[in-house]
Structure 1
Amino acid sequence: MTRPVIGYVTAPKGDILLSFLVGAVIRLSGGKPLRLKREPASGQRQCDGLILMGGLDIHPSRYDASIEVESRFDPDRDALETDWLQHARDHDLPVMGVCRGLQMLNVFYGGDLHQKLDPEMTRDWPNGPIGYTFFRKRISLTGESFLADVIAPHDSVSVNSLHRRAVRSIAPGFHAIACGERGGVQAIQSDTAPLRLGVQFHPELLVYRRDMRRLFRTFVKSCT
């Protein structure tokens, strides 16, 4: 059977190791990876599914807000991902957003973001790359969803956490499918087909776990 082509977006410059990892995960999950570095060609379907990965913060102007917290932004990537999300909408392609990718998915469809997490939520989170590498938090699944089917029979799961921004208002046509122990949206899904899913954690860094491998395999299968 022909492997579905899964387009994925990381930072247009750099992110070589992440791009290699994501490409390998897509390939092992039954897909054919295609790293997307340029805007889509007009009118041509170029992939069967789309994955948006993590990275720098989305500029607040994308959700009609002013800068509340100084951060590093990548306007070129914001524009690139917006173009590919439009392409996915035009061609009814499944989409999965990871961390920043979830946030971009939410912003594209009309939601907005918290520019700073509640200090109560992050009071015992680690600082520094080593701490973040090993830090885990539990999220609870809320009702039936694509993610709940992947994680079944469990109704909660331990995940990593590398972000400092989060969904505030969920976009119209989407709903929360997971939340943190102290609140906060941890995953969203579209109300109708095709599948459009966003997770606030990084499953590509947890692929040593069976449930995270199943998440990618099941998404790739939905693109056939």
Structure 2
Amino acid sequence: MSAPTKRPTIGVTLDSEEPGGYSKFPWYAARQNYADAVVKAGGLPLFLPHEPDQVEEYLALIDGLVVTGGAFDIDPALFGAAEKHPTVKLKGRRTQFEWKITQRAIESDLPVLGICGGQQLLNVVLGGTLIQHIPDEVEAPLAHEQPNPRDEPGHSVTVEKGTLLHKITGAASLEVNSAHHQAAKAVGPGVRINATAEDGVIEGIEDPRHRFVLGVQWHPEFSISSGDEKIFRAFIEAAR
């Protein structure tokens, strides 16, 4: 009888909150469906606290990295912006940690999947910039902070032919959920846009110079479409 196939260990970044609500002291959090999606696709999730000095030790433990979303923004100074929009909310230690571990994972050619805010961080790490507030910079924008529940579609995206995302999903378009007020503005050198919304907002990026560096602006852990599950399966397969 053959031994069961070992599940690749997938580092999943946590969110952080100040005292209040769950605890009177600072606390970490993550939605359960991030872990569920990794397990369903064949991986073993390992949540990562924000310890920038321990990045190399974390990297020695994991086979792939998921950079999650959250209700906060990347410091505009990190992509060269002179001003910060009034809506921008920072979580400095989280960004410091995610920046460092994402950068080192890419340098080590570990598979990286950036989700929503994780895609935005990935885009900046790869040399791109961000739209700080979509309603102020995009003409006639879609409701990217959808009013309906997050486990339902908010709008569709067009998938670019010839991209890794197109190869994974086999779809020309996908129905996606949407929970963001920022998005990629310009992508870095060598980075490819793989999905866009009807209003022109960038919904997905990838770096073809690496075996798997993919960002999506929506939340595939909710499995809105079969394409979402295919994204996680392809990511886990790349981490084997």
- Same topology, TM > 0.5: yes
| Aligned-pair identity (%) | 28
Pairwise CA distance, 1:130: 4.0
Q: Which runs of 5+ in 1 are unaligned?
A: none
Corresponding residue for 1:216?
Answer: 232
The one of 19, 22, 33 aligned to 2:34: 22
Question: Residues 61-140 of structure 1: matches in 2 within 5 Å?
Answer: 61-65=77-81, 66-117=83-134, 118-122=137-141, 125=143, 130=148, 134=152, 136-140=154-158
Query: 1:96 and 1:113 mapped to 2: Cα distance?
Result: 18
Q: Does the 8 Å contact 2:88/2:132 carry over to 1?
A: no
SS at match of 2:15: coil
- With the length of structure 2 as denominator, give the TM-score of the two structures: 0.83
SS at match of 1:89: helix
Q: Does the 8 Å contact 2:195/2:202 carry over to 1?
A: yes
What's the C-alpha RMSD, in Å, of the aligned pairs?
Answer: 2.2
- With the length of structure 1 as denominator, give the TM-score of the two structures: 0.89
Q: Does 1:4 align with 2:4?
A: no
Corresponding residue for 2:193?
Answer: 176
Taking a change above 3 Å as real, the CA distance of residues 72 and 210 of structure 1, as seen in their structure-2 partners, is: same
Q: Does the 8 Å contact 1:69/1:115 carry over to 2?
A: no
Cα deviation digits, residues 189-221 of structure 1 (max 9, x gap): 10212211000111112x263321121111110
Taking a change above 3 Å as real, the CA distance of residues 139 and 165 of structure 1, as seen in their structure-2 partners, is: same
Taking a change above 3 Å as real, the CA distance of residues 9 and 92 of structure 1, as seen in their structure-2 partners, is: same
Pairwise CA distance, 1:2: 1.3
Pairwise CA distance, 1:162: 0.7
Taking a change above 3 Å as real, the CA distance of residues 186 and 25 of structure 1, as seen in their structure-2 partners, is: same
Corresponding residue for 1:142?
Answer: 160
Q: Does the 8 Å contact 1:45/1:91 carry over to 2?
A: no
Q: Does the 8 Å contact 1:141/1:156 carry over to 2?
A: yes
The total of aligned residue pairs comes to 220
Cα deviation digits, residues 30-72 of structure 1 (max 9, x gap): 0111111133343762211111111111111221212033322
Corresponding residue for 1:158?
Answer: 175
